[in-house]
Amino acid sequence: MILNQFRLDGRVALITGANRGLGLGMATALAEAGADIVSVQRSVEVPALAERVNAAERRLLPLALDLTDPDAAQRALAATLDRFGRVDILVNNAGVQHRAPASDFSFDDWEAVLAVNLDAVFRFCQMVGREMVRQGHGKIINTASLLAIQGGITVPAYAASKHAVAGLTKALCNEWAGRGVNVNAIAPGYMDTDLNVTLRADPARSRAIGERIPAGRWGTAEDVAGAVVFLASPASDYVHGHVLVVDGGWLAR
């Protein structure tokens, strides 16, 4: 049955930034599809995630780690293998954003954005990908953005980091596809999450964005649930190096 190809029973998913926003939605979907969850964020207190994983009757291992710590990926992998003995899915979801005109954008802010959005993504891909190659199987899903395709306004570091994530996804695909590891990315459009609070609070900007989206609304965490389950499941075994846009039709306008 084709629907069985979307099941994740017995799989273990490691996801960064799973305590809120898109990460919470993706972790919930993976758990509901059958995966046990290892979540990485700054605190081990993740009540909303714990409630959802428990409701799905799956296991949860929350890890409090700073993604800018060069050892975070190694520690997360070690804890995952110690608890579950395997890692089947990696979702690099955590991200930060800073808004300022490019002419005034400080280098400290530039480095802070890239440290989380790119450096940590590479470290987790490298560390977990190495284990997946050893296993002979695995699914890596990076969170890109519409700004992996467009340039955005007053977010030069964020746009640069997301372009880099898309490129890294394709580069890793070229090395690991033949070794049983799928590397893909999801590029969310304008989502109603904490990352876009500033935009949502600007009536003119929020209205202009909403009017351009053919679907007629901003996206939600639930809108990426199907995409992440697909890319994490056997249904996507022949999908490699793809950046899957989930944008309500924004790029089609």
Annotated active-site residue 158? The verdict is yes
User: Catalytic one among 124, 158, 176, 250?
Assistant: 158
CB-side neighbour CA atoms (13 Å) of 183: 27
Widest pairwise Cα distance in the chain: 56
Beta bridge partners of 40: 16, 63
Question: Would you please indicate which residues are annotated as catalytic (active-site) residues?
Answer: 158
